[in-house]
Amino acid sequence: MFTMPPLKPGKILVTLGAMQSSLSRTSQRIAQYILQNPQQITSLAIAGLAQEAQVGEASVVRFCRLLGYRGFQDFKRDLTIELARSNPLLDVDIQPDDDVTAIGSKLHETVNGVLAQTMTLLDPEQVRRAVSALLTASTVYLFGVGSSGISAEEMKHKLMRIGLKADALDNNHLMSMQATLLRPADVAFGISHSGTSPETVKALRLAQEAGATTIALSNNLGTQLLDYADITLINGHYQGELQGDSLATRVAQAFVLDVIYGLLVQARPDIARANKIKTLKALE
């Protein structure tokens, strides 16, 4: 099971948003109230939060301990520090009377927000481990469906351009067959924004059972995909109800994958440059 590191000011709200679906129903109510009313939390006592979230005070204490705090006061202190350092994300839902400029501005805001979240949630040590695994892999197999499958295919092209052997699969049968045939020298890279795509979860599980190094890229903490990952990469995500899900997902995933790509090139610049020239000439 993926273990969340202790929260710190600057990471509280984005982490709560990422882990909501893995919480119990009671904890979800607490998390939802905090996310919707972060400023109010700083002036509430534990009894007030319990009343607003319609839970017991003991549930609030357990929730805070789940996040690595001794109790509600410690949690409230760090949340207050976080709110003092940054402005909360704005609601960017598209409205019926929005024109081109308004919609463009809101999408721009969404991109900025999701990149800021990703920078907060991304663990540099996990990124370094992923880069090391990819550099030494015999073959890299990227698994993903839907928009995550597109991200997997794009990463495959990037890796091939700099001389790494890679393949991307988005068909559930092919994913499962390939995953179970992997060897310890291979790397399986599962991409699922929700962390719950059954095809990708199964592929990563089979790859891990086969002995391959497994990497997961997801926004959702505490999901099954991370249970089968040796290396975990967490991206941010924010959107209004009517706006921008696919854009936010692609931007967040592309950002993490481009960070990894940049580090791969940095690690072996001469080899990467030579292979990129070769592949570009092959396409002429």
pLDDT of residue 244: 46
Residue 163 reports pLDDT greater than 50:
yes
Q: What is the pLDDT of residues 48-58, one digit of tens each?
A: 999 999 999 99
Residue 158 reports pLDDT greater than 90:
yes
pLDDT of residue 253: 93
More confident position, 67 or 133: 133
More confident position, 36 or 135: 135
pLDDT of residue 40: 87
DSSP code at position 153: H
pLDDT of residue 226: 92
> What are 9's two structure tokens?
């000011």
Q: What is the pTM of this model?
A: 0.73
Q: What is the pLDDT of residues 6-17, one digit of tens each?
A: 577 778 888 888
pLDDT of residue 192: 93
Percent of the chain with pLDDT over 70: 90
Phi-psi region of 172 (alpha: psi -120 to 50; beta: other; left: phi over 0): alpha
Percent of the chain with pLDDT over 90: 54
Residue 50 and residue 34: Cα distance in Å, rounded?
A: 11
pLDDT of residue 245: 54
Distances from the Cα of 146 to the Cαs of 102, 150, 156, 184, in angstroms? 28, 7, 16, 28
More confident position, 156 or 193: 156
pLDDT of residue 83: 79
More confident position, 187 or 243: 187
pLDDT of residue 89: 43
pLDDT of residue 52: 93
Residue 210 reports pLDDT greater than 70:
yes
248 and 237 Cβ atoms separated by less than 8 Å: yes
Q: Return the amino acid letter for 247.
A: L
Residue 233 and residue 95: Cα distance in Å, rounded?
A: 33
Q: What is the pLDDT of residues 57-94, one digit of tens each?
A: 999 999 999 988 888 988 988 888 777 665 544 445 66
3-state secondary structure 18-63: HHHHHCCHHHHHHHHHHHHCHHHHCCCCHHHHHHHHCCCHHHHHHH
189 and 140 Cβ atoms separated by less than 8 Å: yes
pLDDT of residue 92: 54
Q: What is the mean pLDDT of the chain?
A: 87
pLDDT of residue 94: 67
Biggest alpha carbon–alpha carbon distance for the chain? 69
pLDDT of residue 84: 65
Q: What secondary structure does DSSP assign to 177-205, as a single string?
A: HHHHT--TT-EEEEE-SSS--HHHHHHHH
